[in-house]
Amino acid sequence: MPKGKLLMVGAGLSGAVIGRELAEQGYEITIVDSRDHIGGNCHTERDAETGVMVHVYGPHIFHTDDEEVWTYVNRYTTFQPYKNRVKTTSRGQVFSLPVNLHTINQFFGKTMRPDEAHAFITEEQADTSIEDPQTFEEQAMRFVGRDLYEAFFKGYTMKQWGCHPSELPASILKRLPVRFNYDDNYFFHKFQGMPENGYTVMIEGILDHPSITVKLSTSFDRSMADGFDHVFYSGPLDGYFDYELGRLSYRTLDFERFTYEGDYQGCAVMNYGEESVPYTRITEHKHFSPWESHEGSVCYREFSRAAEPDDIPYYPIRQIEEKALLGEYVELAEQASGVTFVGRLGTYRYLDMDVTIREALDTARGFLDRSGRGEAIPAFFKSPL
Ligand code: FAD
Ligand code: UDP
C-alpha cells in the first residue's frame, strides 16, 4: 500500500527530484508536464543533422559548492569536467569574461600586474563615491567604472532585460566577479561539470523508479488534483490562479538556429556587449561536449524580449511592480490548501540548477517531517518574497 498519492506538476528538476525523493519514501507519484519531453528548461537533445548535443532552452553549465547536491547528480549520470570560459565581442575585439586581468590589460592596452591593475581600477576607473550600490549601473560604476561598464555590460543588459541598468537591482551584476588575475573560469564553485549524455538523460535517471508515472503533453488544471493527497506545482505561480490578479512579467528568449561546417566561433558562448548587435550571445553547442567529435556544428543566436502570454517564461523580472503583484499572489497561495509551490516558476525566482535541487531535497524532507507529525503542508517551503 502506498503512503499516499502525490501529483507533481512539471517534469523539470523540481518535479523530478521531489517526486523521486518521495517515491523512495513509499509514495505513489504522478508527474504531468505540458511539454512533450521531460527535463524542463534543462532539456538537452541530439541535433538530428549534426549529432551535436543541444541545450534546447539555452546554455546550462552545472556548478555548485553544495557537496550533497553534487553527490546527488553524480548518482544519476556521469559528469565530465567542464569549465565555462566565456568570451565577449565589443568594439571590434574579442575579450575574456568575467572581467579579469587579461580583459583589463587588453582593453586599456597595458601590461599591468595584479596589484597595479587593482590600483588602476579602484583609483582611476571605479566611482568610489558610491558607497552602497543599489542599481546594476551603480554596482558596475562602483566596481569596474564607466569604460568597462559601457563596453561589456550596458548594451548587453539593455538587450537582456529590455530596460536601462539604472532600473535593475545591483544583485543581477553581483553574480559576476571581477578578477585581478588571469583566471577566466566564469564560475568560482568547487564542483563544475557537464553531464556526459546531457541533462535529459540525467533527469530520466532520476525519474526511473517503479512508483513514478510521467504523463507528457498534459497540462494541469486544478480539477486534476482530485484523488491526490497533495500537489507540488512547479508551473508559473500566477498560472495556477488563472492569472486572476494579472500577469507576472518575464523575459523570454528566441533562438535562431544555424549550422556550420567546422568550428564557427571556437568557444561555447560568445557574448555581444554592444546594443547595436540585436542578439545577446551565440552558443555553439558542440563546445559543451569537448570529449565528443563532430564535423558539423549547430549554433543558436539568442534574442531576449518581453514574454507574451503564449511564450515560454524564462527570466522573472523582479522589479517593484512585479514584487507588489507577487505579494498578492503569495497571499492567495497561502490561502489555498493541498498545494505547495516550488521551483523557479512556482516561486518566481531565478534559480540555478544546484539551488533548484537543494530546495527540492529540502521540500521533500519538509513534507515528510510535517506529514509525519500530522501537520499542514505549507504553500511555500521557500518564500518567493
Ligand atoms: P523548469 O525547468 O522551468 O520546469 C518546469 C516544468 O513545468 C516545465 O517543463 C514546464 O513545461 C512545466 N509546466 C509549467 N506549467 C505547467 C502546467 N500548467 N501543466 C503542466 N506542466 C507545466 N542553471 C544553472 O545552474 N546553470 C546554468 O548555466 C543555467 N543556465 C540557464 C540558462 C537559461 C537561458 C535559463 C532560462 C536558465 C538557466 N539555468 C541555469 C536555470 C535552470 O534552467 C533552472 O534552475 C531549472 O530549469 C529549474 O527547474 P524547475 O523544475 O524549477 O523549472
Ligand atoms: N551581463 C552583461 N554582459 C555580459 C554578461 C552578463 O551585462 O557579457 C549582465 C546581464 O545583465 C546578465 C547579468 O550580467 O543578466 C548576469 O550574468 P549571467 O551570465 O549570470 O546571466 P545569465 O546566466 O542569467 O544569463
Give the tens place of pLDDT for each residue, 128-187: 999 999 999 999 999 999 999 999 999 999 999 999 999 999 989 988 889 999 999 999
CA–CA distance, 319 with 315 (Å, rounded to integer): 12
Which residue in 142, 120, 118, 139 sits closest to 129, CA to CA? Answer: 142
Q: Which entry of 20, 281, 344, 358 is annotated as an active-site residue?
A: 281
Among the bound ligands, the one closest to the CA of 316: 1
Same domain, 16 and 160: no
- On the question of pLDDT at 68 being above 90, the answer is yes
Same domain, 135 and 76: no
Same domain, 322 and 357: yes
Q: Residues with beta carbon inside 6 Å of ligand 1?
A: 9-15, 32-35, 40-42, 58-62, 219-220, 234-235, 239, 253, 314, 343-345, 351-354, 356
Same domain, 215 and 363: yes
Same domain, 322 and 365: yes
In a domain, 38, yes or no: yes
Q: How many CB atoms lie within 10 A of CB 292?
A: 12
User: Can you give the CATH number for the domain in which 340 is found?
Assistant: 3.40.50.720
pLDDT at 320: 80
Which of the listed residues 145, 174, 203 is the one where a domain comes to its end?
174
- Asked about 370 being catalytic, the answer comes back as no
In a domain, 312, yes or no: no
In a domain, 235, yes or no: yes
Helix axes 67-76, 353-372, angle to 10 degrees: 100
In a domain, 208, yes or no: yes
Which of the listed residues 147, 174, 201 is the one where a domain comes to its end?
174
Pocket test residue of 31, 38, 56, 60 for ligand 1, highest count of atoms within 8 A of CB: 60
Same domain, 11 and 78: yes
**Based on the structure, what is the number of domains in the chain?**
2
For residue 265, give the C-alpha cell: 566561433
CA–CA distance, 111 with 120 (Å, rounded to integer): 12
Q: 63 and 305 in contact (C-beta within 8 Å)?
A: no
What atom of ligand 1 comes closest to residue 219's alpha carbon?
Answer: 19
Same domain, 355 and 212: yes
In a domain, 79, yes or no: yes
b/e map 185-211, b = 16+ CB within 10 Å: bbbeeebbbbbbbbbbbbbbbbbeeeb
pLDDT at 240: 98
Q: How many CB atoms lie within 10 A of CB 17?
A: 28
The DSSP H or E segment spanning 301 is strand 296-306
pLDDT at 313: 95
Per-residue pLDDT tens for 203-241?
999 999 999 999 999 999 999 999 999 999 999 999 999
Same domain, 202 and 237: yes
- Asked about 352 being catalytic, the answer comes back as yes
CA–CA distance, 297 with 53 (Å, rounded to integer): 10
Q: How many CB atoms lie within 10 A of CB 51?
A: 14
Q: 12 and 343 in contact (C-beta within 8 Å)?
A: yes
CA–CA distance, 325 with 233 (Å, rounded to integer): 19
Same domain, 206 and 334: yes
In a domain, 275, yes or no: no
Among the bound ligands, the one closest to the CA of 314: 1
CA–CA distance, 207 with 35 (Å, rounded to integer): 16
Same domain, 367 and 340: yes
- On the question of pLDDT at 318 being above 90, the answer is no
What atom of ligand 1 comes closest to residue 16's alpha carbon?
Answer: 51
In a domain, 210, yes or no: yes
The DSSP H or E segment spanning 357 is helix 353-372
Same domain, 78 and 113: no
Q: Which entry of 175, 208, 263, 331 is annotated as an active-site residue?
A: 175
Same domain, 209 and 68: yes
Percent over 70 (pLDDT), the chain: 100
- On the question of pLDDT at 321 being above 90, the answer is no
Collapse the DSSP code of 7 into the 3-class scheme (helix H, G, I; strand E, B; otherwise coil) and give the result: strand
**Ligand 1 centre from 125 Cα, in Å?**
38
- On the question of pLDDT at 84 being above 90, the answer is yes
- Asked about 184 being catalytic, the answer comes back as no
In a domain, 299, yes or no: no
Q: Confidence band (pLDDT; 50, 70, 90) for 1? A: confident
Average pLDDT over residues 307-311: 96
Q: 156 and 86 in contact (C-beta within 8 Å)?
A: no
Q: Is 156 in the pocket of ligand 2 (CB under 6 A)?
A: yes
Pocket test residue of 345, 354, 359, 381 for ligand 1, highest count of atoms within 8 A of CB: 345
User: What is the rounded (10 degree) CA torsion for 316, 322, 324, 327?
Assistant: -30
User: What is the rounded (10 degree) CA torsion for 27, 351, 286, 93?
Assistant: 180
Domain hosting 147: range is 101-174
Which of the listed residues 125, 142, 174 is the one where a domain comes to its end?
174
Nearby residues of 208 by Cβ (< 8 Å), 6 or more positions away? none
Q: Which pTM does this prediction carry?
A: 0.97
pLDDT at 254: 98
